[in-house]
Amino acid sequence: MDSGTDAQLLTALRAGDERAFVTLVRRHHDAMLRLASSFVPNVAVAEEVVQDTWVGVLRGIDGFEGRSSFRTWLFRILVNRARTVGARERRTIAVGDTGAVSGTEAAVAASRFDGGGSWASPPESWIEEVEDRLEAGKLADFLRTAIDDLPDRQRQVVTLRDIEGLSSEEVCSVLEISESNQRVLLHRGRSRLRQAIETGFGRPS
């Protein structure tokens, strides 16, 4: 049952198969929790948002016609609820929390380049290190922490694109952001993750 597609699991859960439901919940739980956490003040509230989202999914399941992917639909419900709850919990919404992405954030610190823009302190090697010598569980924990440390909006985009595997169009639709903002946030988020891995495991090449 763990290997069915979302569509197969949906069919099964409509027919009353509770294992199909649990499989679906398990499959998306981390990403949902991580995404919800970026809108609300703490994990307890995020867990409520996730549960509430599944209630909404079950209630709406007969109206879901599969025109969008299930994941897009699921994450839109989640984001709507998380935004509503987040606004209520915080009372005020942080200024600049929505809308255009602004400011500059270098993928690599300017201090690592010389005056002409060439590498002065080139990327340290880590690919071989993490592939061959690092215990997989340790790397996964490290990466999860690094993702949790990303600024909220970068974490949202990285979670949907790179963990859940949504397309850029789907991410824009779920988060209601433009293609160019999506790309900027993705770029900054991925660049920070690369830097975190280099800082953690890099060795001068």
Residue ranges binding another protein (CB under 8 A): 13, 16, 18, 21-22, 25-31, 47, 51, 54-55, 58-59, 104-108, 110, 113, 116-119, 122-123, 125-127, 130, 139-140, 143-144, 147, 158, 162-163, 165, 168, 183-184, 186-188, 190-191, 193-194, 197-198, 205
For the CB of residue 158, give the shortest distance to another protein in the complex, in Å.
7
For the CB of residue 32, give the shortest distance to another protein in the complex, in Å.
10
Phi, psi (5° rounding) for residue 84?
-60, -50
* 13/40 with CB nearer another protein: 13
For the CB of residue 39, give the shortest distance to another protein in the complex, in Å.
20
* 92/114 with CB nearer another protein: 114
Helix runs in the chain, H state only: 6-14, 18-37, 43-60, 70-90, 127-128, 136-148, 152-158, 168-175, 179-201
* 93/141 with CB nearer another protein: 141
For the CB of residue 108, give the shortest distance to another protein in the complex, in Å.
5
Structure-block tokens of residue 125: 């090697």
Which residues are CB-contacts of 60 (< 8 A; sequence separation ≥ 6)?
A: 77
Measured distance CA(187)–CA(153) in Å, rounded:
12
* 93/107 with CB nearer another protein: 107
* 87/163 with CB nearer another protein: 163
For the CB of residue 165, give the shortest distance to another protein in the complex, in Å.
7
C-alpha pair distances (Å), 27 with each of 1, 30, 101, 180: 11, 8, 31, 29
Angle at 83 between CA 77 and CA 89, to 5 degrees: 130
Cα dihedral 80, 86, 91, 93 sign: negative
Measured distance CA(137)–CA(148) in Å, rounded:
17
* 87/143 with CB nearer another protein: 143
For the CB of residue 45, give the shortest distance to another protein in the complex, in Å.
15
- Read off the DSSP letter of residue 196: H
